[in-house]
Structure 1
Amino acid sequence: MSQISFADAEYAGKRKKTRREVFLEEMNQVVPWKALLKVIEPHYPVAGRGRRPYPIEAMLRVHLMQNWFALSDPAMEEALYEIASLRNFAGLALSEPIPDETTILNFRHMLEASDLAEDIFKQVNALLARKGLLLKRGSIVDATIIAAPSSTKNEQGERDPEMHQTKKGNQWHFGMKAHIGVDADSGLVHTVTTTAANEADVEQVADLLHGKEQQVWADSGYRGAPARVARDVKWHIAARPSDIAKLPEGVAKTRVQQREHAKASMRAKVEHPFRVIKRQFGLAKVRFKGLQKNTAHLLTLFALSNLWMARRQLMGQVRPQMA
């Protein structure tokens, strides 16, 4: 831990905690730091004749804050200089060098090159499973479109070739899709896949199931799912509204509507992780070019959304750690 500067000491003396500080304190308690550091350490550069690398935990904390607050590399560097709560969380002080945007970029590239985002996601879910928060008795599957820049006003003069357009309702969207499998009991994400936006949702269904679930809930876009999964599970796939509308009025139609309402109530859980990464963590558009980098970004975001959604349960089971 770096020696605290006069500016940070003055900041520490204030009484009121901001929402950002409360958020960071909560996440500090629930992130499995030791497990994540163990995953990253074999790939992190060691001290040699060149400049001494920043502490691995400090860089991991900076990386997670980038994802929580949707900050670019330059914006993250500036935030570390300007916002004391972010420096404190990372264990940095103005009296010592602050990681610059290139250092922050290189750390992310190291994670991408070694496919460590998937390992981070697995370590988070392993913690949730040990705490009894991932029961795996049932799954809910769904997908969301994440927009990509459609402009060709760039160096290549073209749109991202790995992104495609698709029509949803009466509107065209250009970008990618994030497909997720969610635990039906807790609403936490257990599986993530990505495709271009024009990929049919049902094409990914087999990859979204972990193999232990006994029931699966999905919207009407997954009507062909049972034929694509070579296992005996009970399917709860939504009927098309147009099909329900064609039914004659009466007791039979009312029962169908009640069953569909029950299905929709269960499927609503899958929207919570999408809301967290899009609204709370600020994923309005893809951050990078190509599916590989964006997949790594999404895996990290869904790992962090799981921790955020389960923080109340986890905070009752773990001892606080000081940043």
Structure 2
Amino acid sequence: MKRFSRTVDFEVFRPDLDQALACSDGSKGGRPLFDPVLMFKILVIQTLNNLSDERTEYLTNDRLSFMRFLGLGLSGRIPDAKTVWLFRERLTQAGAIGGLFNRFDATLRNAGYLPMSGQILDATLVAAPKQRNTNAEKTDLRVGRIPQDWQDKPAKLSHKDRHARWTLKFTKAKPQDDGTMPFSDLAIPFFGYKSHISIDRKFRFIRKWKTTDAAAGDGARLREGLLDKTNTASTVWADTAYRSKANEDFMDKEGFVSKVHRKKPHLKPMPCHIQRSNARKSVIRSRVEHVFADQKSQMGLFIRTVGITRATMKIGRANIVYNMRRFLLLERISITA
């Protein structure tokens, strides 16, 4: 936490936080609010350590390192779990996470970390608590309709995630001893959301991102603002999910150079020259997998909230914190070099 305090200037987030919270000037009285930058630091601690609101309150009171990071003394007033939840909820409803992400991205650019070496696109599935719905309820959800039974029970509706979706997660399973490939090993049912990102090739910072349900296709997101047009190098790396005529035409029209993997011909062996080309592309494209591994292993990325608005807030916080950790690493390397 010391390195975070020394390296990251959290005051740059204050204008966006003040605008999103729209706090009064205190002229009407009432209990003084906690400093919004302090509250945002608490969200950073929460994301870094994969903490619940209650656990965050307890550890903030217990750990001196957290208190020093927040600038609090032993006798200082510490936000409770409900205050943390309310602060995060207000930022979520205000849609502030995009502005906060862009604010820190501007900080990275001012520090000299400019995207100038091409970009890599990919997506990963983010799990959410499974919903047990009937077939009729699933049919209603697909067409964007709230099931009648849920409308009559507001408490039940508030606990139902109407935006997360089921999909099949395909794995590279190895054959069993008898040579068979069980379906359960090849296609695993998955429920939740999907995090789409674009990172720059050199520094591996996340530059663009988007959150969708798990069933959304990867390729279509390329044409929905996922490409970073400020990257001075026009090369784009991605896996076969992004290979389509529509995407190739779009990138050609926008001036990008496609390094997207080519697909294997249907019912035919992969030509050797395409196989070698894909292997060369994989050396670069595989760097994006390290981002997802960091978020899921170090931060324990998992959606415990209801709805895509809160899921976007969760994934956006993970993206900001990843960029912060990456910034700390690169700054430490530059000092020791």
Contact 1:117 1:297 in 2 (8 A): no
Question: Counterparts of 1:126-145 in structure 2 under 5 Å?
Answer: 126-145=106-125
Q: 2:242 is matched with which residue?
A: 222
Contact 2:119 2:198 in 1 (8 A): yes
Distance (whole Å) between structure 2 residues aligned to residue 227 and residue 194 of structure 1: 24
Cα offset, 1:196, TM superposition: 0.9
Q: 1:178 is matched with which residue?
A: 195
Change (3 A) 1:247 1:113: closer
Cα offset, 1:218, TM superposition: 0.7
Q: 1:310 is matched with which residue?
A: 327
Q: 1:187 is matched with which residue?
A: 204
Distance (whole Å) between structure 2 residues aligned to residue 222 and residue 76 of structure 1: 39
1:28 aligns to 2:5 (yes or no): yes
Name the amino acid aligned to 1:238: H
Change (3 A) 1:301 1:158: closer
Q: 1:55 is matched with which residue?
A: 35
Aligned to 1:205, what secondary structure does the other structure show? helix
TM-score where L is the length of structure 1: 0.81
Q: 2:269 is matched with which residue?
A: 246
Structure 2: segments with no counterpart, 5+ residues: 134-154, 171-186
Distance (whole Å) between structure 1 residues aligned to residue 95 and residue 67 of structure 2: 27
TM-score where L is the length of structure 2: 0.78
Name the amino acid aligned to 2:59: A
1:208 aligns to 2:226 (yes or no): yes
Structure 1: segments with no counterpart, 5+ residues: 1-23, 319-323
Q: Deviations over 1:41-89 (max 9, x none)?
A: 3435344521112233322221211111111111111111222221221
1:273 aligns to 2:291 (yes or no): yes
1:257 aligns to 2:292 (yes or no): no
Distance (whole Å) between structure 2 residues aligned to residue 198 and residue 187 of structure 1: 26
Distance (whole Å) between structure 1 residues aligned to residue 216 and residue 313 of structure 2: 19
Give identity over the alignment, percent.
25
Change (3 A) 1:192 1:111: same
Q: Deviations over 1:64-120 (max 9, x none)?
A: 111111111111111112222212211223423321111111211222232221111
Q: 2:58 is matched with which residue?
A: 78
Cα offset, 1:310, TM superposition: 2.4
1:124 aligns to 2:144 (yes or no): no
Change (3 A) 1:228 1:288: farther
Q: 1:98 is matched with which residue?
A: 78
Aligned to 2:120, what secondary structure does the other structure show? strand
Shifted more, 232-241 versus 294-303: the winner is 232-241
Contact 2:11 2:37 in 1 (8 A): no
Name the amino acid aligned to 1:108: R
Change (3 A) 1:231 1:244: farther
Distance (whole Å) between structure 2 residues aligned to residue 118 and residue 302 of structure 1: 10
Cα offset, 1:268, TM superposition: 1.2
